[in-house]
Amino acid sequence: MSVEAMTPPFLQLRGVAFSYRGHAVLKGLSLDVGRSEIVALLGGNGAGKSTLLRLALGLLSPASGEIFLEGRAISGLTRREIARRLAYVPQAHVAPFPYEARDVVMLGRLAENGLFRAPGASDHACVAAAFERLGVGHLARRRYTELSGGERQMVLIARALAQGAPVLVLDEPAAALDFGRQIELLRQLQQLAADGYGVLMTTHHPDHALASATRVVLLKDGVVLRQGRPAETLTPESIFDLYGVRVAASPLPGLFVAAGGLQRPT
């Protein structure tokens, strides 16, 4: 047996359930995120996607089930230990002060340095490398509060890369990006996966999952409706089950179009 086969996935959820004010949000959900994987979560509003991310990040505790990071129960890890394994990119973020973008990215180094150690040469090198990798070095000296929504999103992704964690957790990472930046982001995620990162992301765009993910998980009413390879799992039938709209596969690879306009089926 190979070493990789013996190594546990970066992130494991086993039979995880969670309720909010008596309402069951997740019901015995299980999934893995391994090395070189991009796992895309799809589902309508209220399906449990954001709750799943918060559980994976240790921000919420499951009512039942277990969550593991690199084979260790997340309940036994400190916040700093979790941050060394998971880097989070929120959908939106507002900085309270007009920091330069490079200072926002430097915050990613707190998981390594703690609060009381000044950044050193290696930290500045990590920050510069993150900007360079994403092709947004021109943003480094600009005020974060003066950036567009899409530019802020790229800075937050750079912060996650500077953090050095092997798993990136992204909540709707392409939501604020224009079309060109969306395509570039998906390419970057694929390259990160090729370099050994694990990626867990939510998206409302099946096309993005088809274009970039290695596996998709379809959530509905707190349970996994289907999961598997994108081309096999994201079918017109499964999208109808998930969103209640009929689509047809486009002649262009990896693209869905509305069937018969945008009216909901009866």
| pLDDT over threshold 60, residue 1 | no
Topology annotation, domain 3-234:
Rossmann fold (3.40.50)
Q: Answer yes or no: pTM beyond 0.75.
A: yes
Residue 4 banded pLDDT, cuts 50, 70, 90: low
Determine contact, residues 33/198, Cβ cutoff 8 Å.
yes
d(CA 145, CA 149): 10
The residue with greater pLDDT, 51 or 96, is: 51
| pLDDT over threshold 80, residue 122 | yes
| pLDDT over threshold 80, residue 7 | no
Predicted local distance difference test score (pLDDT) of residue 18: 96
| pLDDT over threshold 80, residue 40 | yes
Task: Give the range among 1-15, 104-118, 137-151, 181-195 with minimum mean pLDDT.
Answer: 1-15
The mean per-residue pLDDT over the stretch 71-87 comes to 93
| pLDDT over threshold 80, residue 100 | yes
- The residue ranges of every structural domain in the chain are 3-234
